[in-house]
Structure 1
């Protein structure tokens, strides 16, 4: 199973013109602590709830100094790679890009856990 099979179509990426307040509202709506920032299909990075709370929330997120760490997955990456990235960077979602590095969506920690919970090895007694 690959990243592109678990992409959420519900979570819309932030634009650089979106404010921190708008980002926090989206995070609350989707129960995540991170959101991707995208400009013309180009993934600029992830912003966390903590980063927004340490900045002026009425300012656009494009004016924030983002961390240099930009974790992401490729659409063809195996779901174990997603799990590794989510754990390593303590993320609630991971952005996914295609072969040309265009943003194609996110995979949430919740979706990944639901996938594992529904597999036979986790749902059958004695597995």
Structure 2
């Protein structure tokens, strides 16, 4: 975030890819940073959300954070987003000024590729999209 200054941010995470975003959000809390952030976070199920308690604490502490959990295999009682993060979901849930924001993506390679394409499809300028790529060896 410090390298990609913007009036707001959209983070897209899959699985353990949420880890750097939790760190960035904690830094925002410590700095008193009030810029808006939307975090789309894809997980297989509620029980498999990585750092779920920390995310809940950050959501309570950061009034400008919108946390969108997207569960691949939700419990029948789940009322949130289900399936995969998609261009259609992004169109519905992106903030009004989304073209001015910076986009950071971290997660499995296939998900990041799909998100880069989906963001361009919904109108995000490619220069505003950054991905943190890692792979298991």
**Taking structure 2 as the reference length, what is the TM-score of the superposition?**
0.30
